[in-house]
A and B are shown apart, each in its own frame.
Chain A
């Protein structure tokens, strides 16, 4: 299927000014998957989601149905469903659109997911700065209680974060939800075994869950057919930076990066020349202008040495200094490191300092190799994937644009 012809699914109602209301949701076929799901046994729901090839859209791309099946069989205590609405990956803004414009899609998805995993209490963890999202989701939850969708088997608590990127990492999010600082936890145990408040917990991204009603309504095979062999469906790409039409574009995961930039986002600003692209949020390795003929699915970008991540596409044109861009990115990781693991806490700070001194013309010859060495040795040694997400840009920016960095270092 040509991605350009892909039907809009998640974003189909965004044109309606009242799209966030129950009335609009009902008028456009909302809450019709729920009664179907209620006739299905939980394993049948999980099986449908598995066959749909839906993969988590928060960053890691883990198969959603498989994750749901990890809840221990025969478990009798509480099970929690937690929605990750802590959107914080630089370059990503798609969940904000869903939260503000279609909160009932999330609620219907949650009702179905909760049935599948046997949960009666769910949380929506919304980043603190997203005040408008918080208002819209709270209002929609209120409407859903009033209409009787919620409160009969599922309760939903809308929770506000307080500003910390690391709370997007699922175990950091759980710590934060428990009223602690957002320090990630060692795995195992995985959240599905021992998560929020010590109970089995499934954490899913907003967009992942919004897909679920459509899978139930239109079938796993339909959903799978929209994507590639190993990933079904469409997803919402956030495109920003030096492009003519920055914004959210929903299309098949089989779309290429070139199509996204040139067909969807209108090409490079002022018809300028493309220099580089970050394809999946700032933690994804950077691609050069010659590397954009890749499909944007999880496995396609993995094969290209980077990652689909959160599908935040940041476009850099010829006017952009790559060392300066890395300095900005490194400043972010230095600021957001939670401080728990030594390699991450120390390296992010020092690497930011080194990129900064390179940019202001005070770099030293050995700096680039020192950064690469420190980055490589720390990768994979920390409790969570935050540091690996910093290493992606450190290494790729320097390896792919080394001459530009060297030109700034005094001989």
Chain B
């Protein structure tokens, strides 16, 4: 896939850049957009985004690698991020994580062979009232049980 935004997407980049006193402020939002369009932030994407800000690739790389939400390798069609911080831990996160790794046959950080699911653990997603919980793509799912994650995984295409 060529690493280039469409004209419409470039319009969105300009709109975002104008929101900030210095257009550099739009770097995180533009990286979110790039990830949506290109799937993940490859080195080519870093370089390309850099040209939109007159920034060297090193600056963009430093930013991309600092944050957990930018993927630097292709991810599955769905990302399951299971919280393993204290409140979730107290409510059984370990059991949920163990079940998911064995059920999906992958280690944490890996993607299933069919490219369906990437499994991660994350720090507190600040929804501890529904512990144990996870994020599936944009959505929070809480009060997890083994049966509930089983159903949740089945429904993911």
A343 CB to nearest B CB, Å: 20
Q: A90-B128, A93-B128, A129-B125 are in contact. Are A241 and B86 (CB under 8 A)?
A: yes
A side interface size, CB within 8 A: 59
A160 within 8 A of B: yes
In the complex, which residues of chain A have a beta carbon less than 8 angstroms from the beta carbon of B130?
246
Name which residue of chain B comes closest to A281, CB basis: B124
The answer to whether A129 touches B135, judged by C-beta atoms less than 8 angstroms apart, is: yes
B side interface size, CB within 8 A: 43
Q: A90-B123, A131-B138, A320-B90 are in contact. Are A314 and B128 (CB under 8 A)?
A: yes
In the complex, which residues of chain A have a beta carbon less than 8 angstroms from the beta carbon of B135?
129
B105 within 8 A of A: no
Within 8 A of A (CB), among B108-155: 122-131, 135, 138-140
B40 within 8 A of A: no
CA distance A121 to B20 in the complex (A): 9
Q: Which stretch in A27-35, A174-182, A254-262, A355-363 binds the other chain?
A: A174-182
A289 CB to nearest B CB, Å: 15
The answer to whether A181 touches B129, judged by C-beta atoms less than 8 angstroms apart, is: no
Name which residue of chain A comes closest to B127, CB basis: A93
Within 8 A of B (CB), among A195-251: 196-197, 199, 238-242, 246-248
A78 within 8 A of B: yes
CA distance A78 to B21 in the complex (A): 9
The answer to whether B69 touches A91, judged by C-beta atoms less than 8 angstroms apart, is: no
A308 CB to nearest B CB, Å: 17
In the complex, which residues of chain B have a beta carbon less than 8 angstroms from the beta carbon of A282?
85-86, 124
Report whether over half of chain A's contact residues are helix, strand or loop; otherwise say mixed. mixed
In the complex, which residues of chain A have a beta carbon less than 8 angstroms from the beta carbon of B127?
93, 96
In the complex, which residues of chain A have a beta carbon less than 8 angstroms from the beta carbon of B29?
159-160
The answer to whether B68 touches A164, judged by C-beta atoms less than 8 angstroms apart, is: yes
B154 CB to nearest A CB, Å: 23
Contact of A238 among B31, B129, B140 (CB under 8 A): B129
A103 within 8 A of B: no
- Summed over the interface, the residue pairs from A and B with CB atoms below 8 Å come to a total of 150
The answer to whether B67 touches A197, judged by C-beta atoms less than 8 angstroms apart, is: no
B14 CB to nearest A CB, Å: 15
In the complex, which residues of chain A have a beta carbon less than 8 angstroms from the beta carbon of B124?
88-92, 282, 332
In the complex, which residues of chain B have a beta carbon less than 8 angstroms from the beta carbon of A26?
none
In the complex, which residues of chain A have a beta carbon less than 8 angstroms from the beta carbon of B86?
90-91, 241, 278, 282, 314, 325, 328-329, 332
Contact of A241 among B59, B63, B67, B91 (CB under 8 A): B91
CA distance A55 to B45 in the complex (A): 43
A293 within 8 A of B: no
Name which residue of chain B comes closest to A90, CB basis: B124
Within 8 A of B (CB), among A358-391: none
CA distance A181 to B64 in the complex (A): 8
In the complex, which residues of chain B have a beta carbon less than 8 angstroms from the beta carbon of A178?
22, 24-25
Name which residue of chain A comes closest to B140, CB basis: A132
Contact of B129 among A196, A247, A338 (CB under 8 A): A247
A106 within 8 A of B: no
Q: A161-B28, A162-B67, A163-B67 are in contact. Are A93 and B20 (CB under 8 A)?
A: no
In the complex, which residues of chain B have a beta carbon less than 8 angstroms from the beta carbon of A95?
126
Name which residue of chain B comes closest to A165, CB basis: B123
Query: Digit string of B1-39 for contact with A (CB within 8 Å is 1, else 0)?
Result: 000000000000000000111101111110110000000
A157 within 8 A of B: yes
* Residue with the highest number of chain A CB atoms closer than 10 Å, among B63, B70, B122: B63
A46 within 8 A of B: no
A316 within 8 A of B: yes
Contact of B20 among A131, A157, A238 (CB under 8 A): A157
In the complex, which residues of chain A have a beta carbon less than 8 angstroms from the beta carbon of B129?
93, 238-240, 246-248
In the complex, which residues of chain A have a beta carbon less than 8 angstroms from the beta carbon of B99?
none
In the complex, which residues of chain A have a beta carbon less than 8 angstroms from the beta carbon of B26?
179
Subset of 17 A-B contacts with CB under 8 Å: A87-B126, A90-B87, A90-B128, A95-B126, A96-B126, A129-B135, A132-B140, A159-B25, A163-B69, A181-B62, A197-B25, A241-B91, A246-B130, A312-B128, A314-B87, A314-B90, A328-B86
13 additional contacts (CB under 8 A) given A130-B126, A316-B90, A328-B84: A157-B19, A157-B20, A160-B28, A160-B32, A164-B66, A165-B123, A179-B24, A179-B25, A179-B26, A199-B21, A320-B90, A328-B86, A332-B123
Complex A-B, nearest 6 residue pairs according to Cβ-Cβ distance, in ascending order: A179-B27, A163-B68, A162-B67, A240-B128, A181-B66, A163-B69
